[in-house]
Structure 1
Amino acid sequence: MISLVLAMVWTRRGQAVTLALLALLAVASAVAAPAYLVAAERAIAAGQIATAPDNELSLVLRRTTDTLDETTSSAGIAFPDVGTVLLTLPGFTYHHAAEVPAVGLEETTDFATRVVFRQEICAHVRIVSGRCLAGEGEVLIGERTAQRRGLTPGDSVELTAARQDDQSRPPTWMAAAAPKPMTVAGTYRAIDPADGYWGLHGYFVSGTGVSSGEPAFTNAVTLDTMERTTTLLTIDGLARPGTVDIDRLDDLRADVARLEATALELDRIQFDSGIPRLLDRIDQGRAAARLLVPVIAVPLVLLACFTIYLTVGYGAEGRQSELAVVALRGARWWTRWWLATGESLTAVLAGAVAGCLAGQLLVNAVSAALFPGVGADPAITSLRYAPLAAVAALIAAVVAQRRQLVSPVTRLLRRAPARDHRRIAAAEAVVAALAVATGVQFALSGEPLTGVGMFAPAFIVLALALVAARLLLPVVNLLAVRALNRGRLGLALAGLQLSRRPGAGRLFALLVATAAVAAYAVGAVDTADRGRAVAADVGLGADRVVTVQPLTRRQLLTAVRALDPDGAWAMAAVRLPGGSVSVPGLAVDTERLAAVAAWPAGARDPRDVHRILHPAAADPPALASRDILIDATVSTPGEMRMVVSVSSLAGHGDALVEMGFLKNGRHSYYQRTEVCRDGCRINGIRLSGAGGGSTITGQVTFHQLNTTVPVTLTDAAGWRTAGLGRLSAAPDGLRADVQVTASVAEVVWIQPVVTPYPLPMAFAGTRPADPSITGVAPVGVLLDDAADLPAVPAAGRESALVDLEYLDRLAVDPKPVIDPQVWLGPAAPADVADRMATHGLVIVSDTTAADVRAGLDQQGPAIALWFHLLAAVLAALLGAGALALTVAVDRIRRTEDLTALRTQGLRSGPAGQATLWTYPVLVVIATAVGVLVAAATWRLTGWALPLAGLTPPDVPLPSRPGLLALLAATGAVLAVELLVAFLGGRDLRRRIERR
């Protein structure tokens, strides 16, 4: 009996090989998914490690002491009580450091100078003048500090350990130890402030009340001989290449956790590391991959089983006459069963066994191409779904032949097998019910890609494909009948073959599902790719974003405009942090938006936005020199003070210039400020109390300001006031009726009207009731909703965009802004960093959209989606294989039918059309419908896929595939299946002509 089955296989070896290949693809698909996940998880880890910043590859132990205790070596600054723990954490380069706060180097006491000993300091700084440290009592100071204080190598300075004076407001630093005389050995510049050597200490971060951004470096013996207040001891560890490895991530996590636990047990030891953040991001990426791979693997495996069911059923129908003879001879049921199923089961089983190896080899090849140097790490776990896929394929083969196993001889002898409408309708109803159930679970679940929701895309595709077959084949039959009535025999015969051939509906549904799965898979890849591009560009804001040391708004604007006078590639930008009553967003030099900013799709032209946010306004009153002269008449029962807020027109900074106490009567008030040596803009005049808590009500009339262009003071409309003040025109000037106290908040500001007010803004999202910006002007700057945006670059939705120059004109506080930025466009020159340095812009961080995109491409979603392309290829092969086997099975019967028609007088033309058009027409219609099914399935399920990255920015991301991507995917499927259909039709035509 076995030899008979093998003879049957050999006789129809073409069909057997095709069926085996389909089974191979089915099992290979089931093996490829877990195998690819293993490879993807390794690639995700490798990519995140390769792109991780130094702060995620380092750790630091800190201990703060009042003095160096006897257990601490001054030469090594070590931690003996945790040294044994560090010895169990190999692969790190350790640097010891000690730090003492001191005063004496800077004129201000708003912040302390950081006096730092750090191992190997000379290898990580560039000596600008003098030499590096050599002996006791020597210090290295920053080049900007030396310029500011007029110090050169060989000069002496006294540094005194300090403590913070918490009684002052704001807090200041005061000397609290004996002064330490030191000699300036040299001045330095950090070679790379972002290098991992510097650890997590932020040595070069500057800001008002924070730091100068230039520590004073000394050696251990100098620090030992210095009387100290508090000493911060640190050990920094930076992972050497290969330490954070994909094969020992769990061990590394355990080591870091053990070190953290040990530090908690010890007295005054603090532990910090960015390594857990890196490991968590790797875990998040792997979790995303475990969601995205099964989403397409499940429909692919179901498509494979459906393919086997269809092709085996077609083959069994082609062998009905043989099976009828077996039944007619009275063979026993097991003999009949074996002869009916043996041929198909043998091919399916052989293909299933080969599929286990093929799936792993396929993933190995793909991984070698996509993730060189990572490896697929083959594991037995990759085969965990292979038995299920093989059993499913065998069951599909048996179910496809159920009619041939139980039908009587008379039914088997019929050339047109009876259709089992009830069974087919019941099966399709089950598929539809599963599609609805899984779809509802998908839509309602908080985590749709878990549980039965994972099967929703697969069942929706299959259900829509079956519905399409139900609806379209009757239409094809109607068109065929009309063609027959009109005498178009070739078209009629082709249409009738499609509509009336048993199993044609299932073949049509299969081809629809094939195109839909391929289009869905490629659509996910396309949507994710465009989403990552938007996240990198609009999410960052520009082609390159450089954060610089804190500056005032005017200094930033002046420096950037001098850097790029033509406005072709550089733009100043300041973030608006927002708050309970202040809107978040950006303030930028809007004139340069079009040239620099990455603009969100669908937003109005950035040139229009500039015109809206920066309408024409009067120039602010300006001073030509250092001198400020105000002629005013004062009438008040108490003393008031006057302060003028100015901003340099040449980028020298901003200042609040004390004009002194106001005296009753008419007087001139004079002051000189170096900030205005190259000209200044007047931001406003502040009137405040001179001390005491009583309220002062008075009147001040301004007669003259020594501005370059005389200011019309008799027009009160040219000025505005903030606080308890009222302006009016006097015959000889501007009269201000004011009410002030000694309170900082209860002052009166008088400002020139040199901007529209409220300030125009472009807003994205739901607008607040009364939008304003606080912390800039004397009171909150009111905003006017002037334009809509889908998102503000780098700020996202629910944020505002305002003009930085106009916001700066309203500002009266000279305090530097936090994290000022310079946005650079694609046209920025290669030496832009050097150019920025010459204009006083000190770079703190430098991020490019290309770097952001590279990081996104290494995250879990991007790596997982490569499997979708592999699934699209496998789906196309399944469809082509099913079509090839169907054509082969139909060949004998169609040859007999068309030969008989030719004998009865059918012309060669219509006969040729019937042979060549049947399956190509079926393929074209099915592929077109497949695109629509993919689009519908995406509409129902695509929203839940984590495509753009683990933490995408809050900007509008593409939500659906591009038309070109769908057409490319279905076009490739169509080309392969048309080739199979054309070759099958040509072979059929050749057979007919031979007869």
Structure 2
Amino acid sequence: MIALVLSMAWSRRGQAFTVALLAMLGVAAAVAAPAYLRAADRAVAAGQIATATPAERGVRMSTVQQDAGGEAAPVQDVTFNDAGPALVDLPGFSYAYSAEYATIGIERDDEFRTRFVFRQQACDHLVMRSGRCLASEGDIVLGEHTADRLGLRAGDSITLSYAVFSSNPDVRKYVARGAPKKFFVAGIYHVADPGDAYWGTHGYFAADPGGWPGEPAFVGNPTMVAMDRGSVQLFIDGIAGPDALDVDGLPALRSGLASLQRAIQAANGGVTLSTALPDLLDRIDAGRSSAHLIVPVLAVPLIVLACLTIFLAVSSGMDARRPELAVVALRGARRGQRWWLATGESLVAIVAGAVAGCFAGQLLVNALTAERFPGLGADPGLASLKYAPLATLAAALTAVIAAQRHVRTPAATLIRSASGGSGVAGTIVLDIALALLAAAAGTQLAVSGGTLTGVGTFAAALILIALSRLAAWALLPAASWYAARSLRRGRLGAALAGYHLSRRPGAARLFALVTAAVAIAGYAACANGTAARDREVQAGLGTGADRVLTVADVTRRQLLTAVRTADPSGAYAMAVMSFPDTPALAVDTTRLATVPTWPAGAPAPKTVAAALHPQSAPPITLTGADVVLEVTAAGFPAGQSPRLSVTFDDSVVTVGSMLPGRHTYRERVSACTDGCRLSVMKIVGSYGTLDTAGTLTVKLPGVSALGPWRSSEGGSVTVGADSLRIGVQGLAGLPNGVRIRPADTPYPLPVAVAGRSPGPTLPGLDGNTFPITPRATLPVIPGLGATGTLTDLEYADRLAVDPDTTARAQVWLSASAPAGIKAELQDAGIAVTADIRQSEVRTQLGNEGPAVALEFALLAGILAALLAAGALILGSTVDRADLAALRVQGLSRAGLRAVTLWAYPLLVVAAVLTGTGIALLTWQLTGWALPLAESAFPLPHWPGFTVVALTALAAGLLLTATAALTSRRRNA
């Protein structure tokens, strides 16, 4: 019997080959999905690792070695309790020990310290401009900016002392707490790459509080130990080597990190672990999870489509074999033999195709990953075949179901080639059931909020197939109407083609298959196109500008001055600072029209800039390092005078307690040598003086025009001809005291708002609240999101009380920024810790889980098109007998040619148009559930017109070409 079935398959090898090809494509889709997911897992991990920050590629342990009465242990002998061995066990990591404390002795003002650092193997990462690196105890190397600023050279001697910052608010400087020690300046260094992973996250080269580039004084371990000192900060940095973050080693790394965290907890305090490595691992896991949700949504329709195509192939073949099946039935074959002879050819072909599909699916994935992710490999394995048996079984069951009607049909009916009548009824029932199932799956997806589990995973596939089947019911009436209309107009070829399609029940099934294939390809194109547009929004508005430099600790005035110095024309650089406790950005609005990526639908940037930076009173400026204040205190009870401090740009001068009567206070403010702006006067009380009241009359010699001033709660200010009269009503309940400031900003501060308004006030850059007034509405804030506030940095800085440094600063650059802008900013004292470009963000987003998963859409489109082409070829094979019969009945060769040249191209055109519409409708119903991106910005839900049009055109050209070739074959 097996030999007979094989000979039957060989005699009809064309049809057997078609069934095998369709089975191969279906099984290939079932193999390609898990195979691609294995490759996608590797690609997602590799992409995230390649763009990880230094904090995400390393770990840092820190502790404080307390002063041991001058008998401190060597730095490298410090134990980190039980956590040290766990750190060493992290696979693929190297380690660097370091220690540091503050010293004074070479800076001109003890308000600023010299950062005294030992770091293991530092000389391997320093470039000596002059002199040599560390060789013996007592050697020290200084940074080139520090040496130039202080007039030091290699070979000089300097003296440093261990120091601590005084907690006395009237002192505000470092004081020596150890004996001075003389050092030999062995060399002057610069750093080739401050962002090198070796330097970790210590911020060695961030801007110092004095406004100059941070440059530690590096010493060796013997020098660090020999110094008379107090407490020392100790660190061990784990630096990921090239193999530490290999995608195959991530599970071991996560396990080692968990062990390290447990060891830290077991150390009972004293040791702190700092790392962003878990964030990287979590991001990799999230990307993989997204990929595992998206790929099945695209793969399931392919498998369903393959089964339906096999059903069409087997059913059509059985129609052609009705006489043969009748003879088998008349000869009294048993039911089992009838089933085997009816389905054996198809089952043999399906098994052969399934075996080929196992290889084809993996080879397709290998080719795609080699092109898209070179160097990673697809990681093929037997796990990729886990769904192949199920797909093969589904194909075999489909063949059996397609054959069952013919096996059950009586021999007499088969001989007459008459339909048993159950075919149409069964098809109607099947289509109704499919439509109900699709509706249930779509409802479940909507009710669950887009959860792609259970039936929700199949929602898109079921809706695509159900809509294609329903559209096929309109084909026969439409074809009949078109044929009659063409006949009335004398277009015989089109009329014959229309009648040919309308009288063939198989034409509706073929139309449904081709439509479903086009719909699947269109749906995949919608997903890919929408995701691409999402990435453009994230890279453009999410980054904020073409290039964004993240700046280490810096003051607001420092940032503004440095950026305006580097780009005086305002053509390509903009200072930006985020607020600490609210979604808000302060930017240099004078550059708003030239630098940021501006959102579509927003008012013109020049209009917004004018609204946020209106004209205001000029600032109060002083020139000269010696600042003189004449203050007359009156009305305060004896012993209850308040304390006065004055902020000049980034320098806070604590004048001290105001003595009764008139007194002159002189303070040296080096920052005012070339001119500085008076920001705020702050009047605070001490214990026992909170309820005090009185007046202060303040004169500022050298200031010709005082202009308007304003006072905060608890005080009042009156501007005289040459002085300020400040009334203090009471300081109780005012932890920040009474603040008197020049009215050199608009008040309330104008802001632009996106989304929900923050209210009448806004927490400032220093945390102190000030009133605001909305002057513009934006759809989104570049670099921030759909909800937030935008304001002017200069005015927000003037409203701030404290000039402290912050790590929330950035410099945004346009595409026209010169190549040397980063170096210019660093020379101006701005330490750049990160350099982010839109193109890099776009690439990074392209390496995340959703983008990697959607590469599978290309495979889905190819396989769907091949299945549709196979269905067209199958239709051609089945049509041969009918067309031959028409020729015998007298149809001319010209008429035959007209039928073949018009029928299938018409079917393809109709299927492409219908399938594209179904793809768009299904995308509207289910596409929102795909985890394509997470963003603070509103993302497009629809792909661009070009993507959909090109997909429809490509499908139309391929299928039309297939139809034309099959038509020529039928005419031969």
User: What TM-score comes out, normalization by structure 1 length?
Assistant: 0.87
Contact 2:301–2:461 (8 Å) recurs in 1: yes
Q: Is the partner of 1:792 in helix, strand or coil?
A: coil
1:406 corresponds to which of 405, 408, 412: 408
The residue number in structure 2 matching 1:942 is: 927
The Cα RMSD (Å) is 3.8
- Per-residue displacement from partner, 1:843-874 (whole Å, max 9, x unpaired)? 23222223323322222222222112111111
The residue number in structure 2 matching 1:345 is: 347
Tell me the CA shift for residue 241 of structure 1: 2.0
Q: How does 1:226-375 map to 2 (within 5 A)?
A: 226-262=227-263, 264-265=265-266, 268=270, 270-375=272-377
Residue 863 (structure 1) aligned with residue 852 (structure 2): yes
- Per-residue displacement from partner, 1:608-635 (whole Å, max 9, x unpaired)? 3223322344544555777878999997
- Per-residue displacement from partner, 1:240-262 (whole Å, max 9, x unpaired)? 32243333333333344444445
The residue number in structure 2 matching 1:751 is: 742
Tell me the CA shift for residue 392 of structure 1: 0.6
> Greater shift after overlay, 225-234 or 961-970?
225-234
Contact 2:645–2:652 (8 Å) recurs in 1: no
- Would the alpha carbon gap of residues 510 and 171 (structure 1) be closer, same or farther in structure 2, given more than 3 Å must change? farther
Q: How does 1:418-567 map to 2 (within 5 A)?
A: 418=421, 420-445=423-448, 448-471=451-474, 473-567=476-570
Match of 2:729, as an amino acid? Answer: Q
> Greater shift after overlay, 114-123 or 805-814?
805-814
Q: How does 1:871-950 map to 2 (within 5 A)?
A: 871-897=860-886, 900=889, 902=891, 908=894, 912-948=897-933
Q: Is the partner of 2:347 in helix, strand or coil?
A: helix
Q: Is the partner of 2:570 in helix, strand or coil?
A: coil
1:964 corresponds to which of 942, 946, 955: 946
1:387 corresponds to which of 377, 389, 396: 389
Residue 820 (structure 1) aligned with residue 815 (structure 2): no
Contact 1:113–1:211 (8 Å) recurs in 2: no
Match of 2:452, as an amino acid? Answer: L
The residue number in structure 2 matching 1:763 is: 753
The residue number in structure 2 matching 1:975 is: 957
Residue 576 (structure 1) aligned with residue 561 (structure 2): no
Tell me the CA shift for residue 54 of structure 1: 3.6
The residue number in structure 1 matching 2:604 is: 605
Gaps spanning 5+ residues in structure 2: where?
none
> Greater shift after overlay, 677-686 or 455-464?
677-686
- Would the alpha carbon gap of residues 77 and 97 (structure 1) be closer, same or farther in structure 2, given more than 3 Å must change? farther
Residue 122 (structure 1) aligned with residue 123 (structure 2): yes
- Per-residue displacement from partner, 1:253-287 (whole Å, max 9, x unpaired)? 33444444455545755555554444333333322
Contact 1:138–1:219 (8 Å) recurs in 2: yes
Tell me the CA shift for residue 705 of structure 1: 8.1
Question: Identity rate of aligned residues, in percent?
Answer: 46
Contact 1:628–1:706 (8 Å) recurs in 2: no
> Greater shift after overlay, 35-44 or 742-751?
742-751
Contact 2:213–2:829 (8 Å) recurs in 1: no
> Greater shift after overlay, 428-437 or 201-210?
201-210
- Would the alpha carbon gap of residues 123 and 77 (structure 1) be closer, same or farther in structure 2, given more than 3 Å must change? farther
Question: How many residues are matched?
Answer: 965
- Would the alpha carbon gap of residues 827 and 522 (structure 1) be closer, same or farther in structure 2, given more than 3 Å must change? same
The residue number in structure 2 matching 1:614 is: 613
- Per-residue displacement from partner, 1:745-795 (whole Å, max 9, x unpaired)? 33242423x443322212112123324233559x63222222222221221
Q: Is the partner of 2:97 in helix, strand or coil?
A: strand
Q: How does 1:134-173 map to 2 (within 5 A)?
A: 134-146=135-147, 151-153=152-154, 156-161=157-162
Quick one: distance in 2 between partners of 1:352 and 1:835?
64
Match of 2:882, as an amino acid? Answer: R
- Per-residue displacement from partner, 1:381-416 (whole Å, max 9, x unpaired)? 111111111111111112112221111234334556
Tell me the CA shift for residue 695 of structure 1: 4.8
- Would the alpha carbon gap of residues 662 and 465 (structure 1) be closer, same or farther in structure 2, given more than 3 Å must change? farther
Quick one: distance in 2 between partners of 1:767 and 1:112?
43
Match of 1:693, as an amino acid? Answer: T
Contact 2:140–2:185 (8 Å) recurs in 1: yes
Contact 1:141–1:188 (8 Å) recurs in 2: yes
The residue number in structure 2 matching 1:593 is: 592
The residue number in structure 2 matching 1:650 is: none
The residue number in structure 1 matching 2:781 is: 792
Q: Is the partner of 2:401 in helix, strand or coil?
A: helix
- Would the alpha carbon gap of residues 931 and 416 (structure 1) be closer, same or farther in structure 2, given more than 3 Å must change? farther
Contact 1:636–1:696 (8 Å) recurs in 2: no
- Per-residue displacement from partner, 1:554-606 (whole Å, max 9, x unpaired)? 3322321221222221111111122xxxx421111223223221223443332
- Would the alpha carbon gap of residues 654 and 633 (structure 1) be closer, same or farther in structure 2, given more than 3 Å must change? closer
- Would the alpha carbon gap of residues 477 and 656 (structure 1) be closer, same or farther in structure 2, given more than 3 Å must change? farther
Quick one: distance in 1 between partners of 2:238 and 2:621?
54
Q: Is the partner of 1:97 in helix, strand or coil?
A: strand
The residue number in structure 2 matching 1:133 is: 134
- Would the alpha carbon gap of residues 59 and 809 (structure 1) be closer, same or farther in structure 2, given more than 3 Å must change? closer
- Per-residue displacement from partner, 1:224-246 (whole Å, max 9, x unpaired)? 22334333443333233224333
- Would the alpha carbon gap of residues 365 and 179 (structure 1) be closer, same or farther in structure 2, given more than 3 Å must change? same
Quick one: distance in 1 between partners of 2:81 and 2:627?
62
Q: Is the partner of 1:139 in helix, strand or coil?
A: strand
Contact 2:72–2:225 (8 Å) recurs in 1: no
Contact 2:80–2:271 (8 Å) recurs in 1: no
Tell me the CA shift for residue 180 of structure 1: 3.8
Quick one: distance in 1 between partners of 2:85 and 2:864?
57
Contact 1:77–1:98 (8 Å) recurs in 2: no
Tell me the CA shift for residue 730 of structure 1: 7.7
- Would the alpha carbon gap of residues 818 and 107 (structure 1) be closer, same or farther in structure 2, given more than 3 Å must change? farther
Q: Is the partner of 1:841 in helix, strand or coil?
A: coil
Q: How does 1:828-867 map to 2 (within 5 A)?
A: 828-867=817-856
Quick one: distance in 2 between partners of 1:702 and 1:901?
117
Quick one: distance in 2 between partners of 1:211 and 1:250?
43
Quick one: distance in 1 between partners of 2:296 and 2:88?
43
Contact 1:137–1:222 (8 Å) recurs in 2: yes
Tell me the CA shift for residue 372 of structure 1: 2.1
Q: Is the partner of 1:591 in helix, strand or coil?
A: helix
- Would the alpha carbon gap of residues 738 and 306 (structure 1) be closer, same or farther in structure 2, given more than 3 Å must change? same
> Greater shift after overlay, 240-249 or 920-929?
240-249
Q: Is the partner of 1:420 in helix, strand or coil?
A: helix
Contact 2:82–2:264 (8 Å) recurs in 1: no
Contact 2:765–2:797 (8 Å) recurs in 1: no
Residue 810 (structure 1) aligned with residue 764 (structure 2): no
> Greater shift after overlay, 442-451 or 615-624?
615-624
Tell me the CA shift for residue 736 of structure 1: 6.5
Match of 1:584, as an amino acid? Answer: P
Contact 2:139–2:223 (8 Å) recurs in 1: yes
1:955 corresponds to which of 911, 933, 937: 937
Contact 2:762–2:769 (8 Å) recurs in 1: yes
